[in-house]
Amino acid sequence: MESVQATKQRFGIIGNDPKLNRSIEKAIQVAPTDISVLVTGESGVGKESIPKIIHSLSHRKHGKYIAVNCGAIPEGTIDSELFGHEKGAFTGATSTRSGYFEVADGGTIFLDEVGELPLTTQVRLLRVLENGEFIKVGSSKVQKTDVRIVAATNVNMFEAIKKEKFREDLYYRLSTVEILLPPLRDRENDIHLLFRKFASDFATKYKMPTIRLEEAAVQLLEKYHWSGNIRQLRNIAEQISVLEQNRTISANTLRGYLPDIGSNLPAIVSSSKKESDFSNEREILYKVLFDMKNDLNDLKKLTMELMQSGNSQQVQKEHEGLIRKIYRDDKAETEIPFEEPITEHTTEVLQITPAETSSIKEEDKYHFAEEIEEEETLSLHDKELELIKKSLERHRGKRKAAAEELGISERTLYRKIKQYDL
C-alpha cells in the first residue's frame, strides 16, 4: 500500500495537518475496493483530489475517469448527460448519444456537487448504485454498467434530507465511506506552506522574483478566517505576485488584500450587516413619520368634533382614549387621568377655545381641516426631500448608490429628483 507522504507528493498535495493526513489515508485504504465514497467539506478545500487518488490506486486505474460537475448541468439535460438518450427522445435529439455511465464502464465517475442533483435524477442514480442498471432517456431497454462512483458535496446533507431536497436512501448508498476534508483555517501550520508554493508557481509563470512575507505578515496570514479556503489563498497569492513592486510583503500590505480583516469574517457578511442596519434605521424613521401622520389625523378628528358639537364634556366621554394619547403632562410626560375634564388649557393645546368654536362658520371649518391636511403633507414632503438630499450628498451625486441606501429603485429616485427639481 502506498504511503500517505508518497501519495501527497504524487498528487501535489501540500500540508502535514493530521486531519488532512487521515483523509488521504482513508482514500488509500478504500481505493482497492468498489465501495462508494462521499467526499465532504467546504468549497475550495480541494475535494477533487480524493477521487483522483482513489481511481489511480484502484484496479480501475486503466479505465476511464470522468469528472462531472452536477451543479453546472441544466436540470433538463442532466439525465441525458449522465445516462444518454435515444434519437428523437426530445427536441434536438438528432442521434443516439451515450451517457457518462455508459462511456465510463469499467472506470470511475466523480460526481462533484452531487447535492445539486434533481430528485428525478437521484432516483436513476440510486438504481445504478444498487444493481448497476440504467435506462437511456427515450428508451425502454435496461442497460448494465460497471462503474465506481465517488461523489463530493459542500452541502449539509442532513439539512438537505430534512428539506426533502435529497433522498435519504441515496445519501446512505453514496456514503458507504465518508471522507471529510478539513477547512484551511483548521490547518494553521499548512497555510504559509501553501502560500509559498503558490508564490513560487506564480513567480515562474509570470517570470518575476518570488514574493516573501515578513514575520508579522505570516502571523496575519495564519490567523485569517479563509472562508474561501485554498482557492481564496491561491487567488490572493496571485494578486500580490502580480500587483506588488516590492517583493517583501509587510503585514500592512497583506491586510489590504484580505477582505474585512477587522472582524476576521468574509466581507459579504459585513456588507449585508451594514445594509441591514441602515434598513432598520430607515424602517424606524418611516414608522415615526407614519405615527406623526396618524396623530395629526386623530387631532384633526377631535378638533372637528369640538367645532361641530361645542360640547367638550360629550367629546371627552366619547374619546377618552384618544385624548389620553394626544395630551400629555409637559413635565412628567404621563397620560391624562380618565377623570381629568377637558379644560380651557386642553383646548389651548388644540389651538381653539370653546368660545371660538361657536363663532366659526361652516365653510371655515372645512378650511381649517384643509390647513391641517396641507401642513401634514408638507411635513412628509420635507422629510422625504431631506432624506434624498442627504443621501445624494453622502454619495456625491451618485444616483445608484443613493437609491440603494434609500431602498428604492434608481428609476424612482430619478423621478423624485425631477419632481423636487434637485
pLDDT tens sequence across 187-215: 999 999 999 999 999 999 999 999 999 99
- Please state the rounded mean pLDDT for residues 295-323: 67
Q: Could you give the CA distance from residue 306 to residue 291 in angstroms, rounded to a whole number?
A: 23
For residue 233, give the C-alpha cell: 489563498
Domains and CATH numbers, the chain: 4-182 (3.40.50.300), 185-255 (1.10.8.60), 269-419 (no CATH)
Tell me how many helices (H) and strands (E) the chain has: 20, 11
- Please state the rounded mean pLDDT for residues 296-301: 74
Q: Could you give the CA distance from residue 227 to residue 235 in angstroms, rounded to a whole number?
A: 13
Q: Quote the DSSP letter at residue 65.
A: E
**pTM given for the model:** 0.61
Range with the poorest average pLDDT among 342-351, 365-374, 389-398, 406-415: 342-351
Assess contact for 152 and 51: CB atoms under 8 A. yes
Assess contact for 89 and 138: CB atoms under 8 A. yes
The whole-angstrom distance between residue 119's C-alpha and the CA centroid of its chain comes to 24
If one compares 336 and 154, the residue with the highest pLDDT of the two is 154
Q: Which of 207, 208, 221 is nearest to 249 (CA)?
A: 221
